[in-house]
Structure 1
């Protein structure tokens, strides 16, 4: 099941931090930093003018006002409009509304819905020719062309955050003419599994343009060594267009930002949005308080809000291809060396209750395969899934048995290590996940583990704690590869991520070659798998049977060795004001990674 590739994190988080400075910590998670410097002061030669947008200046008097709960106000450069800079916002208002996709993948129908793409052809050697629609324009009135998508895709690859593994950015991505884009795989990947190949480009989001970013492509082409490449990457990270200097390809464009609020109006150059007669106002009423007061028209990703007025209803919940997971560190020798200890921690946590408290209505991951629960059944044999231990229901008896098997001892109300010491676990978390982690810490403490549990502001946790692996366990999203909807993307990210990869030199919890019971039989003879060879086999599988076989192998390895615990698929949940607006709560148009933006493109929005 394919999907997009717009925020791949192949560039090490540590490398990004080194390039962008301490504030860069927030970039990878779509958080915000803040910088008062104008973009033209940062990059010599990049003189940006205010973009002229031909919009209805009487929109406040003539159009209806919709109020999202998110507070995406780019006033004073709190948010900036370069997807690689620390102050980029990857939420609805900053990313999804202002940038358009080549196509979006509907997880209900299993099909791509074309946006700027006007069809494509894939040859036997995977050479792909994409027709670009001539109906879309940038917010300044310029046409969107294949050259813009060439710049988007090549820049992502040069930044090591795109499809550089499978495509040579120097030669493999090019505009054949203004409305024809060609993508060619590297010679060694002409037999890549086709769905995985499509994952790398079909849901590209157009966040950069050739006019403002083309100069970086020229510099990368001329770079003579890796030092020069790194210097150019630093320039890209520090390029900081303000809201009124950026070009927008999506259905909305910012036209006002002040201390009180920010406004987005329909992009007059977008062939669908140009007919809308409503605008979005951010910052006056926000988040939970705004919803409880009945003043916002939709709230995203907070299913636990209480005391909501009756005006709100819930459309279908989509899953974004990323998992909420327990992440194990390497400082504790028992966690690092013994799968039984990792399994014991999982069994000691009541994950079913955790999900009920923190994400009601979301399914609990029964398998912990390392592949997102939302689509794992499409890639792993049913009998293999059925044979897997289910770590989700709390089972403290099993947890105790596993610890005792490796030499732990229960001394009344606490667990002692095989060396006779009190077993203390360092459990720091970012404040995004305070509710989730509190349930976990309480469970583990009740089980008898001494917990050093504390909550940090998310940017601090990410830049200091997570970046330095300063934890015995923690929690996070993006265990796997968000929004790629394919086992290779998930498993490759988990095993090879340069920050937290499970068998990298820095963070290895498992070896590249591992022994586990035979697939589908927990009591069977031990068999050996080479993880890299299995990953390569998934990537180049000739047919569905071969893909299922190797995906099942690595899913089984993950379940048995449990280098991380996937708890539940992250949901994209909305409360919407269905009393004042004509929302269709039944349509599957909600079920894409583009979320409410795709719903609006397909349905528009009218007052009741």
Structure 2
């Protein structure tokens, strides 16, 4: 299979009949085959969102819709991965602790209310309020006063202040140069005052301040329709006039609907279809590198995995290229570090112990007294079992391991087992960047007592290194984050496997279909070539 260049190679070809969808039927924007003057309608595959309140949305299904409904203080430049102005026109800090954000006066909510600094203050405090139990509350933990509000001891965070209608001041508990990037995340989107009057009604039809507004209510297990918001305060309005997010419970059905022309875009081609996308879609597909990190972790609270040489040996006994070729048709990017290669800070060859060297691995494992029996863990239902077993087979082939057993379970139970330290052997997990910062690629997973640190890894050296990087100016932080990564790659609390590439397919009637590092299709840039 010949692959297009990764990230953004898309060529729209030909013109076909309109979608069999209510808003697209009958060539409403002109004669059949003509590009619509108003931008037209696109339909996009989506998994069913869990929530539609920004502060409660920590999964992709809701986040990709909310990126269109809302505009945060800052946005991500999808070429450089730097923070650029959103509602905030500019920001400044002298010490990385106190930050001042100057807001544009051009933004309004979709109900016509102006977006003010107080809206951000009220939203942030509401998200952190424990009575509201928002999943994204902990993203605010660097604001002064977060602990008091999250523990019910105060109603407002001391470090989140509106100086006037268009000036926000943040005071942090410690220096943090990555703040402008963090503020691009969904948990920091503003909500209007009417949201707090009836939050259930608001979730059914969220009122945002983004490029697109709701057209009707969220139809659970069916879809969400958006219309372009013509009063949006930004400089680049959405290209399509209408976006129809269609919920599917079966990815193969969605794939066939794109193939038949009844759906425009599918950003997550199922693994069993990857080998055939070129035959099925010709030029209407692409392979996209993302930040999704797949790894095998170690329960360091288990004595048999506390010797770093055991962990290094198990890493060197994995032939990543062989697994990629045989199971993924060469479609993944073998990892040579924990920082995604798609980030400017990512490096090729950073991980010495990620090189396949079975002879050295066997010798190191035996000298370290690695366990002769191993239990491996993974979650079911998403195709992970096959490559976990392939890794287990390689370990048995190359290391003095007599027996390997496999435990697989539903994801919810899987996380519960991690949280209770019930995992007794190597485990498969993945991590996707919520915002494009090396800080988020490492701190939540490996800092002592971090929420997602399921390995129970603890290193004073790493904690000090990540803190030094966090304290630094953005311009000075890259090498410091790489220093922190070097410590991880020496200690090997997890085995880097690969970064997952995503495949997009689309119909003939759209072009300019691209994906960002968080696996979100940039639907606002899609061009409809024919109705």
Same fold (TM over 0.5): yes
Equivalent of 2:193 in 187, 211, 218? 211
Q: 1:423: Cα distance to partner?
A: 1.3
Contact persistence 2:448–2:456 (CA under 8 A) = no
Distance change >3 Å, CA 360–CA 301, structure 1 → 2 = farther
SS at match of 2:414: helix
Equivalent of 1:282 in 198, 221, 246? 246
Structural mapping, 1:288-437, within 5 Å:
288-293=252-257, 294=259, 295-302=262-269, 304=271, 305-306=273-274, 307-308=276-277, 309-310=280-281, 313-315=284-286, 317-320=288-291, 322-330=292-300, 332-335=302-305, 337-356=306-325, 357-358=327-328, 360-366=330-336, 368=337, 370-375=338-343, 378=345, 388-393=351-356, 395-407=357-369, 417=371, 422-432=372-382, 433-437=384-388
Instruction: Give CA deviations for 1:177-207 in whole Å, capped at 9, x if unaligned.
Output: 3333232334x53xx4x3x233333556654
Contact persistence 1:428–1:474 (CA under 8 A) = yes
Matched residue, 2:73 = 102
Q: 1:323: Cα distance to partner?
A: 1.9
Q: 1:144: Cα distance to partner?
A: 2.9
Contact persistence 1:349–1:443 (CA under 8 A) = yes
Contact persistence 1:371–1:491 (CA under 8 A) = no
Equivalent of 2:394 in 443, 447, 458? 443
Q: 1:302: Cα distance to partner?
A: 3.2
Distance change >3 Å, CA 197–CA 282, structure 1 → 2 = closer
Q: 1:339: Cα distance to partner?
A: 0.9
CA distance in 2, matches of 1:497, 1:82: 28
Matched residue, 1:32 = none
Q: 1:493: Cα distance to partner?
A: 3.8
Distance change >3 Å, CA 478–CA 174, structure 1 → 2 = same
Structural mapping, 1:108-147, within 5 Å:
108-117=79-88, 119-126=89-96, 127-147=98-118
Distance change >3 Å, CA 535–CA 316, structure 1 → 2 = same
Q: 1:490: Cα distance to partner?
A: 1.6
Matched, 1:151 2:140: no
Q: 1:401: Cα distance to partner?
A: 0.8
Q: 1:565: Cα distance to partner?
A: 1.6
TM value normalised by structure 2: 0.74
Extract unaligned runs of 5+ from structure 1.
Answer: 1-56, 217-238, 409-416, 513-529
Distance change >3 Å, CA 318–CA 240, structure 1 → 2 = farther
CA distance in 2, matches of 1:138, 1:603: 24
Runs of 4+ deviating beyond 6 Å: 57-61
Distance change >3 Å, CA 258–CA 553, structure 1 → 2 = closer
Q: 1:241: Cα distance to partner?
A: 5.0
Extract unaligned runs of 5+ from structure 2.
Answer: 1-21, 30-39, 131-136, 147-156
CA distance in 2, matches of 1:275, 1:551: 37
CA distance in 2, matches of 1:69, 1:449: 45
Ranked by relative contact order (alpha carbons within 8 Å, sequence separation 6 or more), the top structure is 2
CA distance in 2, matches of 1:346, 1:158: 43
Matched residue, 2:9 = none
Q: 1:457: Cα distance to partner?
A: 2.2
Q: How many residues align?
A: 467
